[in-house]
């Protein structure tokens, strides 16, 4: 049985995918520059909305109010909006280079909200050309982007449903522009020793946590998939056997390909069961408070 969830193969849309990924990095860099810092770098995260990727409300550097920067994947425009009603729109297609879009988005943001410093260095990607100079990434196919948004929407709804009943600290469904994924993180309440001393490790990995996410694939794994992992993870963490999906030693996390989900009668329910099963296992082997862990399964229910 093939569901209504679309199949997403990185190889089939890699050029457009990398261009879109680069555009999300521009939004993320604006958020980093303007948002008040939060634990686990939450201020740097974007969100997936009905129109695409966008920042949360950010303070204007000239103290004139707030702004939101977005990628409208229906109209295929980058949008900068001020809370006073002013809006600037920059077309993403047909095949407009990342550097051109970046310069226009920065000019619009500074016009509406004031001057700020912007770091154009791309992060967590194979390319190194600064975003405002990138003429290589230009391919933008609106049909492929629409398919991506449909797939990402299905995934975001799974992540939201998984997070909803948990009574501990958790993140919203974040859209991460470095790794181009959607993810939600549940925390046990205990600190953890970061695995390294680099900036990301020090700030994002200083607490015991469980991550469930989805991404449209990349050069390492060419298919859209859900992923799940725990940090810090003990030796027995990879040992769980699942009816769908399984441990991927190369990536170091549990993986469930969307194409496998599409063969089920209810992909949403099957994805949730994958998430809950890995989380139950993680809580057991990582010695979480099992009463807190049970709340992610709806015990007790979030509303009574």
Domain count, the chain: 2
The answer to whether position 3 is within a domain reads no
- Shared domain check, 119 and 22: yes
What DSSP character marks residue 36?
P
Determine the pLDDT at residue 3: 67
Q: Which of 133, 168, 185 is the last residue of a domain?
A: 133
The answer to whether position 4 is within a domain reads no
- Shared domain check, 112 and 155: no
Query: Whose CA is closest to 214, among 254, 182, 177, 174?
Result: 182
- Per-residue tokens: 250: 């190369």
Q: What Å distances lie between residue 286 and 12, 227, 235, 239, 289, CA to CA? A: 38, 18, 10, 13, 9
The answer to whether position 171 is within a domain reads yes
- Shared domain check, 288 and 146: yes
Q: Which of 68, 102, 133 is the last residue of a domain?
A: 133
Q: Which of 114, 133, 152 is the last residue of a domain?
A: 133
The answer to whether position 100 is within a domain reads yes
- In the chain, the N- to C-terminal Cα span, in Å, equals 37
- Shared domain check, 219 and 116: no
Q: Which helix (H) or strand (E) holds 174?
A: strand 174-176
- Shared domain check, 283 and 146: yes
Determine the pLDDT at residue 132: 98
Q: What is the pLDDT along the chain (304 residues), one digit of tens a residue?
A: 556 899 999 999 999 999 999 999 999 999 999 999 999 999 999 999 999 999 999 999 999 999 999 999 999 999 999 999 999 999 998 999 999 999 999 999 999 999 999 999 999 999 999 999 999 999 999 999 999 999 999 999 999 999 999 999 999 999 999 999 999 999 999 999 998 999 889 998 999 999 999 999 999 999 999 999 999 999 999 999 999 999 999 999 999 999 999 999 999 999 999 999 999 999 999 999 999 999 999 999 999 8
- Shared domain check, 151 and 126: no
Residue-number span of the structural domain to which 121 is assigned: 10-133
The answer to whether position 113 is within a domain reads yes
Planar angle of CA 151, 145, 75, nearest 5 degrees: 115
The answer to whether position 2 is within a domain reads no
* Length of the chain in terms of residues written: 304
- Shared domain check, 183 and 79: no
The answer to whether position 172 is within a domain reads yes
- Shared domain check, 63 and 204: no
> Exposure of 230 by Cβ count < 10 A (0-12 exposed, 13-18 middle, 19+ buried)?
buried
- pTM, two decimals, is 0.96
- Shared domain check, 209 and 230: yes
The answer to whether position 302 is within a domain reads no
């Amino acid at each position: 049985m093939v569901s209504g969830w679309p199949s997403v193969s990185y190889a089939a849309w890699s050029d457009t995918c990398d261009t879109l990924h680069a555009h999300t990095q521009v939004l993320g860099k604006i958020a980093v520059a303007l948002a008040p810092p939060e634990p686990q770098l939450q201020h740097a995260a974007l969100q997936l909305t009905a129109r695409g990727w966008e920042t949360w409300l950010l303070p204007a550097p000239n103290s004139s109010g707030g702004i939101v920067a977005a990628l409208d994947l229906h109209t295929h425009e980058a949008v900068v909006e001020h809370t006073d009603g002013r809006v600037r729109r920059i077309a993403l297609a047909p095949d407009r280079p990342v550097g051109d879009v970046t310069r226009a988005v920065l000019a619009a943001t500074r016009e509406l909200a004031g001057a700020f410093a912007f770091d154009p260095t791309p992060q967590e990607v194979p390319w190194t050309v600064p975003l405002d100079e990138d003429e290589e990434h230009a391919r933008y196919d609106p049909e492929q982007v629409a398919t991506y948004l449909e797939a990402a929407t299905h995934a975001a709804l799974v992540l939201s449903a998984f997070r909803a009943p948990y009574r501990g600290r958790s993140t919203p469904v974040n859209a991460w522009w470095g790794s181009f994924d959607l993810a939600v993180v549940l925390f046990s309440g205990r600190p953890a020793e970061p695995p390294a001393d680099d900036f990301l490790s020090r700030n994002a990995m200083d607490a015991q946590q469980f991550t469930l996410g989805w991404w449209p694939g990349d050069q390492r794994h060419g298919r859209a998939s859900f992923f799940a992992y725990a940090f810090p993870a003990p030796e027995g963490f990879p040992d769980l056997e699942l009816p769908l999906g399984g441990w991927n030693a190369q990536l170091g996390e549990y993986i469930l390909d969307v194409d496998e989900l599409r063969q089920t009668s209810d992909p949403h329910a099957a994805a949730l069961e994958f998430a809950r099963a890995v989380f139950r296992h993680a809580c057991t082997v990582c010695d979480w408070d099992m009463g807190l862990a049970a709340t992610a399964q709806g015990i007790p229910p979030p509303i009574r």
